[in-house]
Structure 1
Amino acid sequence: MAEYIDHELVHKRLPRRIALNKTVRGLFLASTLSGLIVLAVLLFDVIRDSWGWLDWQFLTSVTSFSPEQAGIIGAISGTLWLMMIVGPLTMILGVATAVYLEEYVKEGRVRTFFETNISNLAGVPSIVFGLLGLTVFVRMLGMGSVVLAGGLTMSLLVLPIVIVASQEALRAVPSYLREASFGMGATRWQAIRTVVLPAALPNILTGMILAMSRAIGETAPLIAIGIPALLIPLPGSLFDSFTVLPVQIYYWTIDAALTAEYAYMAAATIVVLLVIMFLLNATAIFIRNKFQQRF
């Protein structure tokens, strides 16, 4: 009798569970499609507005007060200069910090203190890092609004992301690889350098991709340290004034209220920024996959 009742309950609940499963799956599908539709509409709107403005003259000309003569070569150059500072600096400091915390610091209050604060820094608004860069690099050290000050500020912004991602990558390395290295007589640093880091490198590069993508699209910290957007020559060194694509987009969007052409120029600049981000991410993914196949 009890077995019959159980079967009866199952038959009663089964249609309800199937319906619930279909409903939840439909909600997830709707959420995914909503995001894709919004993204498609935004891309269509940006590409439509940039049509006719995105040409070779626009890519190779400097900023001008005349919309017909203005270009973004200075912003492109400044963006690349900024990434040449942010990339190596965050890679070295982020991975070194993660290795120290994961491989040398024992479990305890000290490690918990560092990890908690690093995780909290990853969620700090970007404008706070801009004010920090303004106070320390621009004013205290007297650098001014130059490439080096901007690169150091953006490095502070994305450094917690790289540290956290690198820590997770190091934790994912199986412990038996370390133990095998120690068993063969390797020192701790030799095991880290020859076994742990190569095995964790693909995931570390994934974290770098996320960090670089955020750095290349941030505007608030650079505006806070006083990066201009008008009539700036191409930077030739770390101590030259510069501007970047997000800042150029920001100012042109504001100016669009007075001159309609600036809205189309901002749209064309957005397309260029998206292409640069795609190329940087594709390069990083290619490097990551090569290391993943090797190790």
Structure 2
Amino acid sequence: MGFSYLFYLLLGAAAGFLSGLFGIGGGIIIVPFLVWLFSAQGFAPDLVLLMAVATSLSTIIVTAAASLKAHHRLGAVDWPVVKQLVPGVLAGSLMGSVVADSLPTDLFKTLFAFFPLWVAFQMLKSYSPSLDSDQPPDERNLAGAGGVIGALCTLLGAGVGVITVPFLVKRRFNMRQAVAISSTCGLPIAIVGSLGYIALGWGNAGLPSWSIGYIHIPAFLCIVTSSRIFAPMGAQLAHKLPTDKLKRIFALFLFAIGIRLLWQVVV
């Protein structure tokens, strides 16, 4: 068990560092590696991915709260837009956890395997709106969009930014607005989604000890602790290194993760 704590700490450090360096949520790293770590510890195969997603999502509560505080201090949060998104986000977050709990294991693994591939593709393209910059942001149907965003983030255990930022930029929000709005929506998604996973997993006899619902507490505590330490280091290094080249390398790494996950489903 002691070795598992060490691996959780290392995973949190890597996820935090890469999140700070590339500006992506750590969930894209946390979930695949938690799947491997949980499997190595002999957790029930049909619960491994569900626990990895739930545990990853719960760690986002801490990071999203810190991010929201920072953006609010800078006055960067467009609160009227957030208020339009949040009702859908809350409903979608709860729906996402219910869907994840009801999906057949192989289908769930297949859906998740495509997520690193999609993120890699997003990292290789530039978020620069081609529309006329004089046009105001398109704020139509944001409640419905919030529902889709909340459901996807909860289903995948992912940080909201990797889905929300590209969407908002396409709606003509500038990058600063998009990042701030995305960070603000991340907190309710993580809270509601985590509560959903706790409720749905409550009393499941197949869960290992030290679990609250589908959330594995030792992994949560270790990942949160080390990721908070290493995220600022990654952010500082991002200003010194050629991040465009690093992003290409990291995108290839994500492609490898996605292909491996798909291969595991096939075989």
Question: TM-score under structure 1 normalisation?
Answer: 0.28
Question: TM-score under structure 2 normalisation?
Answer: 0.30
Task: For CA contacts below 8 A with separation 6 or more, give which structure has more relative contact order.
Answer: 2
Which of structures 1 and 2 has the bigger CA Rg? 1
